[in-house]
Chain A
Amino acid sequence: MKIKVIKKGTVNAKPVSYCDVIVDDIGPDKRV
């Protein structure tokens, strides 16, 4: 029985930075 916790889980833990999301995910590629 081996367990290595790389990242502990928590409810609503998503590190969503709006700025990161938009800089990374919104760009001309999302235009239609």
Chain B
Amino acid sequence: MGASTKLLAMQPSIFNIRVPLRDRDDVFLLNTLTDAQLIVSSDVAGLLDRPSFDSLTDSEREAVDVLKENGFFVSDYTADRRALEEYFYSVKHSTEELHITVLTTLQCNFACGYCYQGDREDFNQFAEKMTLETAARVADWIETELDRLRPAKFAMTFFGGEPLLNLAAVYDLADRTWAATQARGIPQSLSVITNGLLLTSDVVDRLVPRGLRGVKITLDGDRATHDRMRPLRGGQGTFDRIIENIRKVADRTRISIGGNFDESSADTFPALLDFLKDQDFADKLVKVNFKPIVRDQPPPAPTLKGTLPLIPVNDHGKPLGGSCMTSVGGGGGSTCDSCSFLDEKMAFLREETRRRGLPGPSGVPGGPCHVHHANAHTIGPDGSIYGCPGFTGEKAMSTGHIDGRLDAWRERNRNRFDTLDPWKACGDCAFLPTCAGGCLTASFAQLGDVNTPTCHKPTFESAVIALAHRVAGTTQETVQ
């Protein structure tokens, strides 16, 4: 009777997600902590609701065993929550990879209206640029970290500003870290997030031998919209030149297309997808992924209608006093129209991307982001260290410096980032293992608090539904 005793002491995991499949008596089951995915008949799914397990048939017992093996049953609630905390701890302290994001400059040749690094006032004139001396010190700091952690992999992302405006620092860092990693037998991979204007075959060919793994380029809608959203500082359009640059390097490295939409531009993205689908480099694209623009204040130009803030909410889905268009300040109980719009658009664009055979995202987040990784760092042009790239516009948010200086304010920030646990305000949300409280840059921008969750549960839910039917569509005939 040992097995029965064990079965009695268990309950469904709080991380289970169920999606009934259309036109069939099956249910897609996902556990976000174990990442298990099953397609089961509805009677199997019904076992998760069973109040007791003292009279199971043999086939029911076998089914319960499979559900238990995959994490859909747990011993008790406390064990489920403890497993989550252990998972977050293991992610935070993993030494599998050291990942450094380097901002070679905060300068940019674009003047995107939604970016704090845009051509407003005199920002660009005085924006920082990494010197070669600082680049050498950054490389030394990375070498020290490699020796301290002894990671299995080293990854470095060049970001900005526009990172290719400081190619000297890019090349110098790539060369130095390549030598350091080669000497230690650690594989190096590089990636570049660029606006694409200065991306050439020469740049790619120079970095591929240093481990270049891919380049992410941003397109903000169809040609006219992109040229409006992402003009040069002189106001000229950039779309055509970026596309030509992509064409020239697409067979040399992996290309990922990103894009930022707001209420005024979202509906032009299907035309962009049509355009991309017809390009000769379409089959070379490894990811096409569009996201909403995060704002901390209404856009300055009247042509950019409305704001699309990511709204921090509590575990009842109510805003926590953020800058929501329709529920300002109090969580007044109504659905946030702008959030709903945003989530619907993200889901719509995901499906439109896949419908055209382009490699879209699943929409289900892959786990806690870099801000929760102790061994992922962002380094600004002056050597300041940050928790994630989203904070680099605020030097006051720096958590350290590569020269080891101990400023009291940086120490306070470091302690603050070391103890982040925004998910504790999320209750028992089933998406906790993959979301971990959402984008804390958005939380900081809107509430001034990095430890408040930013919730997009509806978009995750629609993504899981789409995933379930995609999986079921490809495996329908094999379900037995």
Contact = CB atoms under 8 A, between A and B. Distances in A.
Interface of A: 1-32
10 contacts: A1-B62, A9-B36, A9-B70, A14-B35, A18-B373, A21-B369, A26-B370, A27-B216, A32-B294, A32-B296
B112 A4 contact: no
A29 B294 contact: yes
Interface in B104-139: 112, 115-117
Given A12-B90, A26-B369, 15 more contacts: A2-B40, A2-B480, A3-B44, A3-B63, A5-B66, A7-B35, A9-B36, A14-B367, A22-B157, A24-B256, A25-B365, A28-B112, A28-B115, A28-B258, A32-B294
B97 A18 contact: yes
Contacts of B193: 22-23, 26-28
Given A18-B97, A23-B256, A32-B294, A3 B35 contact: no
A30 B390 contact: yes
Interface string B366-394: 11111001001000000000001110010
Nearest to A6: B37
Which 4 residue pairs spanning A and B have beta carbons closest together? Answer: A9-B36, A9-B34, A9-B70, A6-B37
A4 B70 contact: no
A32 B39 CA distance: 41
A1 B60 CA distance: 7
B70 A15 contact: no
Interface in B382-432: 388-390, 393
A22 B36 contact: no
B18 interface: no
B218 A32 contact: no
A14 B191 contact: no
A9 B195 CA distance: 38
Contacts of A32: 116, 294-296, 390, 393, 441-442, 444-445
Contacts, number: 176
Given A23-B214, A24-B289, A10 B369 contact: no
B433 interface: yes
Given A9-B69, A19-B213, A28-B115, A4 B293 contact: no
Interface of B: 26, 31, 33-41, 43-44, 59-60, 62-63, 66, 69-72, 83, 86-87, 90-91, 97, 99, 101, 112, 115-117, 155, 157, 159, 189, 191, 193, 195, 213-214, 216, 218, 256, 258-260, 287, 289, 291-296, 361, 365-370, 373, 376, 388-390, 393, 433-434, 439, 441-442, 444-445, 471, 475, 478-480
B116 A6 contact: no
A10 B97 CA distance: 20
Contact of A30 (B99, B294, B376): B294
A19 B66 contact: no
Contacts of B91: 12, 14, 16
A13 B41 CA distance: 25
Contacts of A19: 97, 99, 155, 157, 189, 191, 213
Nearest to B480: A2
Given A3-B66, A18-B370, A27-B218, A10 B441 contact: no
